Amino acid sequence: MLFRIMAALPFIGILIGIPFVNQVEPLILGMPFVLAWIVIWIVLSAVIMGIIYRLDPANRQAVNEAAEARS
């Protein structure tokens, strides 16, 4: 259940969060705030998916089987 909630965070941040941050000011690294918001969520999406991949028990089993096959 936690993995599904974590996987939904980028969707919520990008699609549902946009109407709340739809402002030109302030500028962040020279980008309007809404563009910076989207860029931040794209980076966070990759980080969140990496965390989910590492914590998912199905992936741990695959790694263990691959390690045993190499031995």
Domain locations along the chain: 2-60
Which range, of 4-18, 36-50, 54-68, averages the lowest pLDDT? 54-68
CB-based contact 31:12 (threshold 8 Å): no
> How far apart, in whole angstroms, are the C-alpha atoms of residue 26 and residue 66?
49
User: In the predicted model, is pLDDT for residue 63 greater than 70?
Assistant: no
β-bridge partners, 28: 31
pTM of the model: 0.71
pLDDT, tens only, 3-18: 788 888 888 888 888 8
51: tokens are 């965390």
> How far apart, in whole angstroms, are the C-alpha atoms of residue 61 and residue 67?
10
